[in-house]
Amino acid sequence: MSDAGTAPRGVGVVVVAAGSGTRLGAGIPKAFVDVGGRRIVDWAVDGARAVPGVVHVVVVVPPAYVEMPIPPRRDVDVEPDPELTEALYAGAAADRVPVTVVAGGAERSDSVRAGLAALGTDIDIVLVHDAARCFTPAAVYERVIAAVVAGDRAVVPGLAVVDTMKVVGPDGLVVYTPDRSRVRAIQTPQGFARVALEQAHASGVHASDDAMLAEECGIPVRVVDGDPLAFKVTTPADLDQAHKLLASAPTLWVIGGLPGTGKTTAGRVLAAEEGATHLRVDSIEVALLGAGIDEVTSEGYAALYAVARDQLRLGGSVVADLVNPIPLTREALRAVARDAGASIREIQLVCSDAAEHRRRVENRAADIPGHRLPTWADVEARQFEAWPESVTIDTAGLDVEAIVRQIRGRVPEGRG
């Protein structure tokens, strides 16, 4: 680690997912239990990869699971258009953070050591995170990282306790009652200057968390604020809480496709039915031009990302209506959902009947003052890459009610 306050070369995250999870009683390691259509470990990995500054994630799993795929990873090979600004691709880099899967050991500390050894040499700060805390907000990661960057060698997130705590002896009698105001329930990720974590693990002893090893080495450990969402899935009641959390999360509906496929018409109806905010990139771009911007490239998308993130963080769902033509813009929207703790549903609309599609394009009337509608030649020339990971709905011959029924009935829910 360099001088306090100096930006690190890189942040690495060791996601510990090697436990058996016997208290959950699922019959498989708890990190591989399904929550909302995805495994607990997938949520945890996705969350870690979305944190600014993270350049490598190592997942430590039971030996039998080393060959597991990592569904959250979506490689993005398209290079940004040099004529567009960086804002268009905000958040897309998170999905290029490499993920390495290694086998864990008999004890938790053995697993952390295996993960630490697998991190790249460019890592100065290491976060150790329990996969079972799969919904930990990015803000918790960021507080831990900031404290390490500022000079602390070991940092843990913690929550104040609301119950009176008792220390009990082996005979069942109370030894003493600690001052509750000074007690914290410790969570993860726990962050360390890499050299400090390596020092803490050099003894080869075992502990229930890495901060305990640091304490035994005489390394001061700072506590920063944790978050109730960083709860640990350990028991069936915790798993039920995780399911309920996903069920109550706001949703980012992303409706993309070429002009004339029915995005705006369907988006308006869907937003009304869902009680969601309808965000249309055309409206934003026209407003920016009216405000004096000579040419709008990525600015409309960047503004939509920002407004969508704010609405989702307030707990409201959003229907984003935009062409969404290339993988990088789609990754940016996934990052918006991740940042806001929202689920995301991705829909690509197409019209397989070229004559019908052309009729729609040529017979539309502008409903935004100052908006120049694209011609059929514009649509044919428009850059648009297929969106195979989304649900694709062919709108040829369908009215808006039928399109929306298909959207609502066919789209699986995911998290960013």
**Per-residue pLDDT reduced to its tens digit, 7-22:** 556 999 999 999 877 7
Q: How far apart are CA 322 and CA 351, in angstroms?
A: 16
Q: Report phi then psi at 166, rounded to 5.
A: -130, 140
Estimate to the nearest angstrom the gap between the alpha carbon of 14 and the chain centroid: 16
Q: How far apart are CA 225 and CA 230, in angstroms?
A: 11
**Per-residue pLDDT reduced to its tens digit, 163-199:** 999 999 999 999 999 999 999 999 999 999 999 999 9
Structure tokens at 346: 């991705």
Q: Please tell me the pTM assigned to this model.
A: 0.69
Helix (H, G, I), strand (E, B) or coil at 63: helix
pLDDT at 217 over 50: yes
Choice among 68-82, 94-108, 232-246, 319-333 with the minimum mean pLDDT: 68-82
pLDDT at 89 over 60: no
C-alpha distance from residue 359 to each of 261, 295, 363, 392, 402 (Å): 11, 29, 6, 21, 19
pLDDT at 71 over 70: no
- Closest among 199, 209, 108, 184 to 153, alpha carbons compared: 199
pLDDT of residue 412: 54
1 or 109: which carries more pLDDT confidence?
109
Contact of 336 with 346, CB cutoff 8 Å: no
**Per-residue pLDDT reduced to its tens digit, 284-321:** 999 998 898 877 778 899 999 999 999 998 999 999 99
pLDDT of residue 87: 45
- Dihedral of CA 279/285/288/289: which sign? negative
Give the number of other Cβ atoms within 10 Å of residue 373's Cβ: 15
User: Mean of the per-residue pLDDT values for the chain?
Assistant: 87
